[in-house]
Amino acid sequence: MTTTSTNSGRPKNRATGEGGARRRGKGSAALASERREHLVKLAAELFAEKGFQATTVRNIAEEAGILSGSLYHHFDSKESIVDEILAGFFQEIMSAYRSVIDEGNDPRTTIAGLVRIAFGTLEPHRAAITVMQNDWNYLKGMERFAYLTKSEDEVEKMWVDTIKAGQRDGLFRADIDPKLTYRMIRDTVWVAVRWFKPGGRLNAQGLAEHYLKVMFDGINTH
Amino acid sequence: MTTTSTNSGRPKNRATGEGGARRRGKGSAALASERREHLVKLAAELFAEKGFQATTVRNIAEEAGILSGSLYHHFDSKESIVDEILAGFFQEIMSAYRSVIDEGNDPRTTIAGLVRIAFGTLEPHRAAITVMQNDWNYLKGMERFAYLTKSEDEVEKMWVDTIKAGQRDGLFRADIDPKLTYRMIRDTVWVAVRWFKPGGRLNAQGLAEHYLKVMFDGINTH
DNA sequence: CCGAGTTGAGCAAGCGGTTGGGCGCACACG
DNA sequence: CGTGTGCGCCCAACCGCTTGCTCAACTCGG
């Protein structure tokens, strides 16, 4: 007879309940503990491999050679780990996008630049992109990750405006839908993360050039 | 003390276990099958919405207005439900692909036909495609779903062979990578399931035509 | 009265998260 | 120089809860 431990009328105040001042002075992050970053990387690999929800804190801990309880000396929840992963990725890519736009080249050059940047993140941010793809629906439903949708909208605006400008300048066909075209490009780039292997036949930049070729001129002979 | 019945080396084959004679005879087969199919559809919607792993058997049962235990009168596991969903989808699309190829048209027409078929499945098989996309990594790791990878390989061969034939005939550019191009097309089509809304501005066939335009001739003006 | 279909209680396992304590290293202090 | 002590890091056990799945007993139309 094992301890069945059936609910003994204990109040169910769990974590985060009262006193939001749990982990005071997260400012110690300034130290940016190496250990912490290492754990984030391990977690990212697992999230990418099995999905965020399917990865348990015990998985992460085991990968790091510690027990799950120890993880909570570094993070206050599983969510905050994935938050760190995604926030870093978004920050980097949006800043890169902006600098391409700010160069003020013609729309075709700008689009090419954006595509190259996107493919360029495939390798260094493989895990973040995979998480973003697989768990987007789940994550965007939480207030904590509202910034994901906001950033996504901002990015969409950059692309769509550039495509429209290209149409005005007569560089891009007028009979394509800018928003639709943006989505196709975006999805095609990110989805490559599923089969792209860094050591393979083609590197990320090779992928980008191949894609630009097809996207700009099609697969037909002319 | 209830019978603990912990697994005593018993094989876990239930329903579908011995003999595929699941729905043999019994005029009720049609009826039972209807109920079963209904449950599969409900489950498919949930899997698509929240992911396979994140959907619980209690979710499915609740959606059907029954209790989780009752589900096991129809299926022997959660896996067998998703199996039914994916197997049906693959069977249908591969048969459709084959008949297009068997028409023996020129490669350009054949590719266009394949693209139209793929987009055509977007609406009727929305849930299956979403599951395939989001949970592919998880599912392909199980022997039970080995046929997924096998079918995928067969499909890839159809597309790649057609693209190569088009290159030989001078219809498609020689400087594109057939395999890479196939993957681009495939990803672009399937990934549309994320934002495609049946009642929206563009139906699936409209999407297909838009994409064929871009894919064949690019977004540049000529 | 048969049996397909359902119920409701329940199991073992595992989940995310919490906690009190202990180890060992760095550094200040006498 | 020894030593005490604060602290980063971690362990082990545990909590309340959910998971996929099981099963004896019940319902009820044919």
Neighboring chain B residues of A184 at a CB cutoff of 8 Å: 188, 192, 211, 214
pLDDT at B98 exceeding the cut of 50: yes
Mean pLDDT, range B85-114, rounded to an integer: 97
Per-10-residue mean pLDDT for chain A, 222 residues long?
32 28 31 75 88 89 89 88 91 96 97 97 92 86 89 96 97 94 92 89 93 93 82
- pLDDT, tens digit, for every residue of B49-65? 999 999 999 999 999 99
Distance CA A86, CA A78 (A): 13
The three-point CA angle A222-A208-B122 to 5° equals 80
- Per domain, the residue ranges of chain B are 29-71, 79-217
| Contact assignment for A180 to B207 by CB distance below 8 Å | yes
> Does residue B219 or residue B154 have the better pLDDT?
B154
Q: Give the Cα separation of A83 and A144 in Å (integer).
A: 8
pLDDT number for residue A28: 34
Q: What is the mean pLDDT of residues B209-213?
A: 93
Q: Give the whole-angstrom CA distance, residue A185 versus residue A215.
A: 8
Judge contact between B212 and B115, C-beta under 8 A: yes
Which CATH code of 1.10.10.60, 2.40.70.10, 3.40.50.1820, 3.40.50.300 fits the domain covering B29-71? Answer: 1.10.10.60
Cβ–Cβ contact B136 with A under 8 A: yes
Contact positions of strand C to protein Cβ (< 7 A): 4-20
Distance of CA A211 to the CA centre of its chain: 21
Q: What is the mean pLDDT of residues B124-135?
A: 94
Domain B79-217 has CATH 1.10.357.10: yes
Share of chain B above pLDDT 90, in %: 73
Residue B29 has pLDDT above 80, yes or no: no
Please state, in angstroms and rounded to a whole number, the distance separating the CA atoms of residues B40 and B84.
Answer: 8
Residues in chain A: 222
**CB within 7 A of nucleic chain D:** A 3, 5, 7-8, 10, 12, 28, 33, 35, 61, 64-70, 73-74; B 3, 5, 12, 14, 55-59, 68-69, 72, 76-79
B160-198 pLDDT, tens digit each: 999 999 999 999 999 999 999 999 999 999 999 988 988
Q: How far out from the chain centre does Cα A184 lie?
A: 18
Residue A71, CA distances (Å) to A28, A57, A60, A74, A193 in order: 16, 8, 8, 6, 28
Average confidence (pLDDT) over B66-74: 92
State the pLDDT at residue B41: 94
Domain A31-71: homologous superfamily in CATH: Homeodomain-like (1.10.10.60)
Please return the burial class of B131, using the count of CB atoms within 10 Å of its CB with bins 0-12, 13-18 and 19+. Answer: buried
Tokens 């698509």, located at residue: B48
User: Residue B137's pLDDT is what?
Assistant: 86
The pLDDT value given to residue B32: 53
**8 Å CB contact of A49 and B221:** no
Cα distance between residue B84 and residue B75, in whole Å: 10
DSSP character string of B108-167: HHHHHHHHHHHHHHTTTTHHHHHHHHHHHHHHHTSGGGHHHHHHHHHHHHHHHHHHHHHH
Strand partners, A172: B220
Q: What is the pLDDT of residues A130-142, one digit of tens each?
A: 989 888 888 888 8
Give the residue carrying structure tokens 């005879």: B25
Within 8 A of A207 by CB-CB distance, chain B residues are: 180
Q: How far is CA B17 from CA B9, B22, B76, B139, in A?
A: 16, 9, 9, 21
Res. B147: pLDDT tops 90: yes
Alpha-carbon distance of A185 to A193, in angstroms, equals: 14
pLDDT of residue B27 exceeding 50: no
Q: Is the CB of A62 under 7 A from strand C?
A: no
Q: Which residues numbered 165-184 in B keep a CB inside 8 Å of some CB on A?
A: 166, 170-177, 180-181, 183-184
Average pLDDT over chain B, rounded to an integer: 85
